C-alpha cells in the first residue's frame, strides 16, 4: 500500500523544534514584551525545507479568512455533518488539537490539510490553529504534507483515484501500467482506484457520507453504470428511482445500513 493511501509518520516530513523570534527594538526606551512567533521547519518534495509560522484564526473569522487550497485532495462536496461526525463533537467541546496546514495568499489562508477541521470550526465558531507557509507549494509538496499530516480519516479509493488521473494527465501517461511503474505501486491497486474515480458523480452523490462507502461498492457501481448506459437509462432517472426515503438518515449509526439499502435499490431498478 502506498504512502498516498495509508499516510506516514509526521516525523518523516516535519522536522525541527519550534523557535522564537523577537522584534529588535533600537530606541532608548525599555523594550516592550511582545508575543513570540512560533515557527516550524517542513521538509517538502526533493528535500526542500520551508519555514511555516503558527497562526490561530479566530472562530468568527474562519469562514472569511480561510479557504480550501486548490490542490487539497479531499472531496469538499462530501464534507458535511455526517462525514465529520467523529470529530465535530470533540472540536465543539475541546477545540482543535491538531493544527491545519495552509498557504498564506492575498490575506487569506488556503488549507492544504485540515478542511474537515475548518468545516467544524465554522459550524461551532471555534478557533482554527494552523501552520502557514508564505510561499507557494507544488503538487509534490502537497503530497508530502498530506501524507505526513493526514490524521483519522483516510482518503477514499475515489479521492486517491482522482489524484492518480491528474498525475496521468500531467505526465502524459496513457496506461495504468505507466502510472504503476512511475509510482511503484501494484497495477491492481491503481486499477481499483482509477475505476472508483471514473464512476459518475450522479451515482456517488446519493450515498450519505459518500467518501466512506465500502471499497467493494465501487466495482458494483461501475457495473451498474455500465448496464444503465448500455440500456440507455439516464443516471438521473436511475438515481431518482431509488427514492428519498432510501437516503434518509434517522440515526448516524445506521449509515452503513442506509448505504447498503441504496446499493440494493440501484440493483433492483435495473433488474
pLDDT digits (tens, 9 = 90+) for 191-229: 999 999 999 999 999 998 888 899 999 999 999 999 999
Domain extent at residue 64 = 3-23+34-149
Q: Point out the domain boundary residue: 106, 131, 149.
A: 149
Per-residue model confidence as pLDDT tens digits over 121-148: 999 999 999 999 999 999 889 888 887 7
Residue 262: band (very low, low, confident or very high) from pLDDT cuts 50, 70, 90: very high
16 and 107 co-located in one domain: yes
133 and 7 co-located in one domain: yes
Q: Point out the domain boundary residue: 90, 114, 149.
A: 149
- Total domains in the chain come to 2
Mean pLDDT of the chain: 84
Average pLDDT over residues 230-257: 79
Residue 28 lies in a domain: no
Q: Point out the domain boundary residue: 119, 149, 179.
A: 149
Residue 264 lies in a domain: yes
38 and 68 co-located in one domain: yes
9 and 129 co-located in one domain: yes
51 and 139 co-located in one domain: yes
201 and 77 co-located in one domain: no
Of 42-51, 56-65, 163-172, the range with the highest mean pLDDT is 56-65
177 and 135 co-located in one domain: no
121 and 192 co-located in one domain: no
What's the grid cell of residue 109? 489562508
115 and 182 co-located in one domain: no
70 and 140 co-located in one domain: yes
Residue 56 lies in a domain: yes
Residue 66 lies in a domain: yes
pLDDT at 250: 64
Q: Indicate if the pLDDT at residue 28 is higher than 50.
A: no
Amino acid at each position: 500500500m502506498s504512502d498516498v493511501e495509508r499516510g506516514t509518520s509526521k516525523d518523516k516530513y516535519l522536522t525541527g523544534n519550534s523557535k522564537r523570534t523577537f522584534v529588535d527594538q533600537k530606541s532608548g526606551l525599555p523594550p516592550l514584551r511582545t508575543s513570540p512567533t512560533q515557527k516550524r521547519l517542513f521538509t517538502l518534495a526533493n528535500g526542500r525545507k520551508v519555514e511555516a509560522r503558527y497562526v490561530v484564526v479566530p472562530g468568527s473569522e474562519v469562514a472569511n479568512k480561510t479557504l480550501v487550497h486548490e490542490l487539497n485532495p479531499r472531496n469538499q462536496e462530501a464534507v458535511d455533518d455526517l462525514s465529520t461526525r467523529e470529530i465535530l463533537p470533540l472540536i465543539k467541546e475541546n477545540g482543535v488539537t491538531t493544527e491545519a496546514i495552509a498557504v498564506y495568499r492575498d490575506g487569506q489562508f488556503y488549507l492544504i490539510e485540515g478542511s474537515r477541521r475548518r468545516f467544524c470550526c465554522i459550524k461551532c465558531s471555534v478557533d482554527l490553529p494552523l501552520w502557514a507557509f508564505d510561499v507557494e507549494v507544488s503538487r509534490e509538496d502537497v503530497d508530502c504534507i498530506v501524507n505526513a499530516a493526514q490524521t483519522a480519516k483516510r482518503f477514499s479509493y475515489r479521492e486517491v483515484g482522482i489524484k492518480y488521473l491528474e498525475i496521468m494527465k500531467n505526465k502524459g501517461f496513457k496506461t495504468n501500467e505507466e502510472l504503476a511503474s512511475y509510482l511503484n505501486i501494484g497495477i491492481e491497486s491503481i486499477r481499483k482506484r482509477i475505476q472508483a474515480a471514473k464512476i459518475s458523480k450522479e451515482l456517488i452523490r446519493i450515498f450519505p457520507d459518500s467518501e466512506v462507502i465500502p471499497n467493494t461498492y465501487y466495482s458494483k457501481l461501475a457495473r451498474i453504470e455500465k448496464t444503465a448506459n448500455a440500456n440507455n437509462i439516464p443516471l438521473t432517472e436511475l438515481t431518482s428511482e431509488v427514492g428519498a426515503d432510501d437516503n434518509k438518515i434517522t440515526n448516524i449509526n445506521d449509515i452503513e445500513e442506509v448505504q447498503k439499502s441504496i446499493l440494493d435499490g440501484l440493483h433492483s431498478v435495473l433488474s
